[in-house]
Amino acid sequence: NNNTSLVLSRATCFQLWNLESESYISKWMLKGYKDQAERPCGVNDTHAILGTDDGDGHVFTLEDGVEMCALSVVRVTSEIEAAAISSNSRHLVLAAGNGFLFRFLHNK
């Protein structure tokens, strides 16, 4: 939808969350951006695909995801739906904009 497009147009990285443990799995920084809509992105029970600048995808294995850096905590409520790129019952992929990082706080 339009909200998602607005978030993605400002994205400088993607973030992957484990909903069960409410933990940050990994972040993949982009070198820059062209058209985020052209980047492949998806998630299933075992892998997540995050798009790159040149249209290729970077694959994370969800069970072996490595945390790369600490995050600033930002409470995201209504923005979650707009920011979510892809999700299933266990994982969520979010876009993070310039100057701030999303942290997903799962309400059980």
pLDDT band at 5 (very low <50, low <70, confident <90, very high): very low
The whole-angstrom separation of Cα 63 and Cα 102 is 21
pLDDT value at residue 42: 64
Q: Between 105 and 63, whose confidence is greater? A: 63
pLDDT of residue 104: 37
Say how far residue 55 (Cα) sits from the centre of its chain: 16
Q: What is the pLDDT of residues 31-43, one digit of tens each?
A: 444 444 445 566 6
Question: What is the average pLDDT value for the chain, to the nearest integer?
Answer: 48
At residue 19, the pLDDT reads 62
